[in-house]
Structure 1
Amino acid sequence: MVGVRVDGTTRLMGIIGDPISQARTPQAINPIFAGKGADIVCVPLHVPADDLATVWAGLKAMPNLIGFGVTLPHKQIVPQLCDSLDPLAARIGAVNVVRREPDGRFRGYQFDGQGFVRGLIAQGVVLQGRDALMIGAGGAAVAIAFALQQAGIARLVVANRTFDKAEALARAVNEATGTSFATAGAPTPESGQLVVNATSLGLNDSDPLPLDVSMLQAGMTVAEVIAKPEITALLRAAEQRGAAIHSGIHMITGQVSLIADHMIAALG
């Protein structure tokens, strides 16, 4: 990290996941910390799913660890380990940032949905009054569903390999918002929709596509949550079909400044 000073007073921010090689947060957030004069450095931490509880105890025992980001597959397990949850994280049931509070306790927060919507808006993607199809029902998907509802998306269809999980997500959003905004359905895009891949399919070249790309067409916007690679096989196929594309890197850039300020605030 050229230009970043690291010494014995530096506070650490981790980002935990399994795998972790795809993480883009460190390279995005470290320049922000440096630019704000905050003595914090973010580093990736490979935490296998089976070892999460063990690693968690170690993280909590490190006083110079200010907090950490959370990526797949931990987002829906971490709430059970946190000492407390921010109301939004509790509502969504998924955490993507944990911060050590002044009393030493770990509190879970959720920035995925805000970051995703901020990224779309920054790139000029129209949301108000538009229909959307989201593939996936994991931690990031739940946060995005709530954020899309708040951003003015008219109707959301949730498709997932396990249909019951898609139904549960749609029901949770509708009950929390007092609407009939979300429904569970098939991964079948319709004219003009915002199509969101909120699964991990696309991290590896060998992954299958999350939907039948022959149904994609001009007028649709196909958006990813995957930031590395920046252009996934789905986005390449969508572009070839004439659809507008939106890389998952924009979700990172949409939330990283929020997370940086959140961590800096913990310095007191």
Structure 2
Amino acid sequence: MVRCLEIKGSTRLMAIIGDPIAQAKTPATINEIFSARGADIACVPLQVPAQELETIWAGLKRMPNLVGFGITLPHKQTALQLCDSLDPLVERVGAVNVVRRERDGSFRGYQFDGKGFVRGLQANNIEILHRDALIIGAGGAAVAIAFALAEAGAKSITISNRTTAKAQLIVDAVNADFGRTIARVGSPQPEPNELVINATSLGLNDDDALPLDPDLLRPGMTVAEVIAQPETTRLLSAAGARRVEVHSGIHMIRGQVGLIADHMCEIWD
């Protein structure tokens, strides 16, 4: 049985920062893990507007009982300049999604988006190996997922973004890192049997435009989201109505929270 979360004076805090933040699933999910482990750590959401990030970051650093924080939109790339040090994977991907307070009190940036996304796919028996993938978006999550899919054995990765130059940066980084042409820039037009990933924020709001034309979707494809709230976005609903396999962003959260909890407890449990 999972114990109820008990907040005490000795409880260390972890945060999740972003704007908006009401959609964040990480606190509830990771608190269950902390509680089950008996770790005296609690995760809370903090709404941090982009223009206030630097000021709030300085305040977080001066809170000795804060062990670190997760980072969501729109801060994953801005945070690079604010961390005291970066894990090599962050430098490779160019985006931060977790910051941990190290033993010396410094803030070090880490990246679990890609590994969590792949772990979520694998937990649901969704094929990656030798499969073509289409990623829509070119933000921090898209970069991390592109690297993780390449590592997991994807056959090819197409990056589609409104700003082609941003997509090209991801393509160049992935191809250079793996020493072969695995990634390319393309349109948001899925091919048969492709793994289609919406790595944009489109879907957080009910009136958001769809990231691609759902009439292009066919059975045999898989449509996956990075958005966890709502768990079933309009895109996933449209895909399901066309008998296309769907994969909610909640699986990415579940895939990475265990990794993040391990990471925090490594020093602070």
TM-score by length of 2: 0.98
What residue number does 1:93 align with?
Answer: 94
Deviation at 1:231, TM superposition (A): 0.3
What residue number does 1:111 align with?
Answer: 112
Task: Extract unaligned runs of 5+ from structure 2.
Answer: none
Aligned-partner residue type, residue 198 of structure 2: N
What residue number does 2:148 align with?
Answer: 147
Q: In the aligned structure 1, how far is the partner of 2:81 from the partner of 2:179?
A: 26
What residue number does 2:43 align with?
Answer: 42
What residue number does 2:14 align with?
Answer: 13
3-state secondary structure, aligned to 1:133 = strand
Aligned-partner residue type, residue 202 of structure 1: G
What residue number does 2:207 align with?
Answer: 206
Q: In the aligned structure 1, how far is the partner of 2:197 from the partner of 2:32?
A: 29
What residue number does 1:221 align with?
Answer: 222
3-state secondary structure, aligned to 2:7 = coil
Aligned-partner residue type, residue 170 of structure 2: L
Superposed CA deviations along residues 216-242 of structure 1, whole A, max 9, x for unmatched, are 010000000000000000000011112
Superposed CA deviations along residues 108-127 of structure 1, whole A, max 9, x for unmatched, are 00000000000000001011
> What fraction of aligned residue pairs are identical, expressed as a percent?
64
Aligned-partner residue type, residue 267 of structure 1: W
Extract structure 1 runs of 4+ deviating beyond 3 A.
Answer: none
Deviation at 1:266, TM superposition (A): 1.7
Q: In the aligned structure 1, how far is the partner of 2:83 from the partner of 2:50?
A: 16
Q: In the aligned structure 2, how far is the partner of 1:239 from the partner of 1:213?
A: 10
3-state secondary structure, aligned to 1:266 = helix
What residue number does 2:31 align with?
Answer: 30
What residue number does 2:121 align with?
Answer: 120
What residue number does 2:264 align with?
Answer: 263
3-state secondary structure, aligned to 1:69 = strand
Q: In the aligned structure 2, how far is the partner of 1:94 from the partner of 1:19?
A: 18
3-state secondary structure, aligned to 2:69 = strand
Q: In the aligned structure 2, how far is the partner of 1:143 from the partner of 1:58?
A: 28
Deviation at 1:158, TM superposition (A): 0.3
Deviation at 1:170, TM superposition (A): 0.6
3-state secondary structure, aligned to 2:202 = coil
Q: In the aligned structure 2, how far is the partner of 1:49 from the partner of 1:63?
A: 24
Q: In the aligned structure 2, how far is the partner of 1:267 from the partner of 1:155?
A: 40
The size of the alignment, in residue pairs, is 268
3-state secondary structure, aligned to 2:218 = coil
Deviation at 1:8, TM superposition (A): 1.0
- Cα-Cα RMSD: 1.1
Aligned-partner residue type, residue 80 of structure 2: P
Deviation at 1:98, TM superposition (A): 0.1
TM-score by length of 1: 0.99
Aligned-partner residue type, residue 107 of structure 2: F
What residue number does 2:167 align with?
Answer: 166
Deviation at 1:90, TM superposition (A): 1.1
Deviation at 1:66, TM superposition (A): 0.4
Deviation at 1:142, TM superposition (A): 0.3
